[in-house]
Amino acid sequence: MNKLRKGDQVIVTTGRDKGKRGTISLRVDDEHIVVEGVNVAKKHVKPNPLKGTTGGVVDKTMPIHQSNVAIFNPKTAKADRVGIKLLSKDEQAARKTRESGVRVYKSSGEEIKA
């Protein structure tokens, strides 16, 4: 179970974009994620008349390692860590889920809704 998922609000903790906040838009692999508005690079694109694209300099969002971000806790308005609370068989049946655990904020123990 990944602790960070698509759609989560995160804060960048290290690097040149430290302090920026954004939403995870894509998981590239097990360790890298793409966050909207973070780690943006300039890419020079050639024009392609067959595809109808014009050339020029385009902003492209690049992947960032997931260890460089922390989930955003809206209650405290700060970065937080993610823990996994294991569910009993009765709780799994009540939620109608196959997952054996749910993600929680480490500071408060509240469940992450996403």
Over range 58-74, report the average pLDDT: 96
Classify residue 112: in a domain, yes or no: no
The CATH number of residue 92's host domain is 2.30.30.30
User: Would you call 37 exposed, middle or buried from its count of C-beta atoms within 10 A (0-12, 13-18, 19+)?
Assistant: middle
Confidence of residue 65 (pLDDT cuts 50, 70, 90): very high
How many domains does the chain contain in total? 1
3-state secondary structure of 27: strand
Task: Tell me the pLDDT tens digit for each residue of 23-57.
Answer: 999 999 999 999 999 999 999 999 999 999 899 99
The type of residue at 50 is: L
Position 70 pLDDT exceeds 70 = yes
Angle CA 94–96–101, to nearest 5 = 85
Token look-up 């469940």 returns: 111
- Per-residue confidence (pLDDT) for residue 114, from 0 to 100: 64
Over range 80-84, report the average pLDDT: 94
Among 98, 95, 107, 81, smallest CA distance to 8 is for 81
Confidence of residue 95 (pLDDT cuts 50, 70, 90): confident
Classify residue 114: in a domain, yes or no: no
- Per-residue confidence (pLDDT) for residue 91, from 0 to 100: 81
Classify residue 95: in a domain, yes or no: yes
- Per-residue confidence (pLDDT) for residue 26, from 0 to 100: 95
Containing domain of residue 32, as a range?
A: 9-105
